[in-house]
Amino acid sequence: MRLPVSDDCERAVAKLRAGGLVAIPTETVYGLGASIERPSAIARVYAVKGRPADHPLIVHIDGAAELDRLSASTPAYALALAAAFWPGPLTLVLRRTSAVGAFVTGGQDTVAIRVPDHPLTLAILRVLGTGVAAPSANRFGRVSPTTAAHVLAELGSLLDPQRDLIVDGGPARVGVESTIVDCTGASPRMLRSGGVSSADVQRVTGLELGEPDAGIRAPGALASHYAPSASVRVVAGPGAAQLVGADPLVGLIAPGRVATPVGVVRLLAPATVGEYAAGLYAALREADALGLQEVRAIAPAGDGLAAAIRDRLGRAEVGSSAQDRTEP
């Protein structure tokens, strides 16, 4: 039986209420979701992904009004960030209430929360009436999915066609995971870069960023992550001379102004940083589909999405070169 793919909100809600897993679209990447009220379903999320049990999951909600139920303490600056960027690619880490079990948070007393900017998923959350814990819908450490087809290709054989569902909401608009900000202290602390920049956080809160708390574990923060099967090499500077000559097993990801060396497979040639982020993971997946041995990438400069792209490429570089990866 083939795993169902649908855009039916009511069907997705029914699956979640019954303890199934539902791959949901967001503006960042697709997530593999389970109701936070279903411990057995959360356990299946970890099992399907091959995710270590101490790695927290991000809880998706339909609006900031849910914070009163899930957060034991929400500082004023966190509320300001929520007002400015939700729905959107921003995750806030807060002290959790008993409404969020330790099985969601990797055993921590904090919970990561965001409101996704996708109409279909917001409708699912609104009808469901509770939070959905949803890490990216891929095997742990691998490239995140930005389409329903990516989810089906990677997890289709691991999900249950009778219990589970993939919701097709089209390609992810942003294309890289959300910014994560720790809001448990007197000032905000950046834990992961994304579509909301550090300058944005400081502007909205009027506060300087504090030093990250090493005691708080955040999703996607391992040195090795987001890695395709092909090796990834991040190349400094725009000069194509740094790239080896013609090689049909090498792919190039670089801004559109950078010429493609003869014989090298061009995977992505974005005109803007936004296009780079939106196409990055699909390009890494394409490298594997083409059987390429190496991907060379020239990353953009700047804050916000540019910083997020550099972060993801750097982690992919480490992950693809590791001898013993978490996953095959």
pLDDT given for residue 326 in this prediction: 37
Is 137 in the same domain as 278?
A: no
Q: Which residues pair with 297 in a beta bridge?
A: 234, 253
- Separation in Å, CA 178 to CA 89, 116, 135: 4, 9, 11
Task: Confirm if 188 and 210 have CB atoms less than 8 A apart.
Answer: yes
Mean pLDDT of the chain: 92
Task: Confirm if 287 and 251 have CB atoms less than 8 A apart.
Answer: yes
pLDDT band at residue 327, thresholds of 50, 70 and 90?
very low
Task: Classify residue 258: in a domain, yes or no.
Answer: yes
pLDDT band at residue 1, thresholds of 50, 70 and 90?
low
Task: Classify residue 216: in a domain, yes or no.
Answer: no
Is 177 in the same domain as 257?
A: no
pLDDT given for residue 69 in this prediction: 97
What's the length of the chain?
A: 328
Is 132 in the same domain as 263?
A: no
Task: Classify residue 93: in a domain, yes or no.
Answer: yes
- Which of the residue ranges 56-70, 141-155, 194-208, 236-250 would you say has the lowest mean pLDDT? 236-250
Task: Classify residue 296: in a domain, yes or no.
Answer: yes
Over the range 113-135, which residues count as b (16 or more CB within 10 Å of their CB) and which as e?
Answer: bbbbbbebbbebbeebebbbbbb
Is 190 in the same domain as 241?
A: no
Task: Classify residue 212: in a domain, yes or no.
Answer: no
Task: Classify residue 219: in a domain, yes or no.
Answer: no
Is 128 in the same domain as 241?
A: no
Is 197 in the same domain as 271?
A: no
Measured CA to CA, the distance from residue 137 to residue 129 in angstroms comes to 22
Over the range 179-212, which residues count as b (16 or more CB within 10 Å of their CB) and which as e?
Answer: bbbbbbeebbbbbbbbbbbbebbeebbeeebeee
Measured CA to CA, the distance from residue 321 to residue 292 in angstroms comes to 15
Look up the CATH number of the domain holding residue 317: 3.40.50.11030
Measured CA to CA, the distance from residue 309 to residue 48 in angstroms comes to 26
Task: Classify residue 32: in a domain, yes or no.
Answer: yes
Q: Report the number of distinct structural domains present in the chain.
A: 2
Is 64 in the same domain as 200?
A: yes
Name the region of 170 (left: φ>0; alpha: ψ -120 to 50; beta: rest). Answer: left
Instruction: State the residue for tokens 């930005």.
Output: 146
The range of the structural domain enclosing residue 174 comes to: 5-205
Q: What letter would DSSP give residue 76?
A: H
- The CA angle 130-151-158, to the nearest 5 degrees, is 85
pLDDT band at residue 324, thresholds of 50, 70 and 90?
very low
pLDDT given for residue 321 in this prediction: 64
Is 256 in the same domain as 186?
A: no
Structure confidence by residue, pLDDT tens digits, 95-137: 999 999 999 999 999 999 999 999 999 999 999 999 999 999 9
Sheet with 265-268, strands from edge to edge, namely: 231-234, 294-297, 250-253, 265-268
pLDDT given for residue 259 in this prediction: 86
- The CA angle 104-277-322, to the nearest 5 degrees, is 65
Helix (H, G, I), strand (E, B) or coil at 232: strand
Is 103 in the same domain as 175?
A: yes
Look up the CATH number of the domain holding residue 50: 3.90.870.10
Task: Classify residue 213: in a domain, yes or no.
Answer: no
Peptide bond into 87 cis (omega under 30): yes
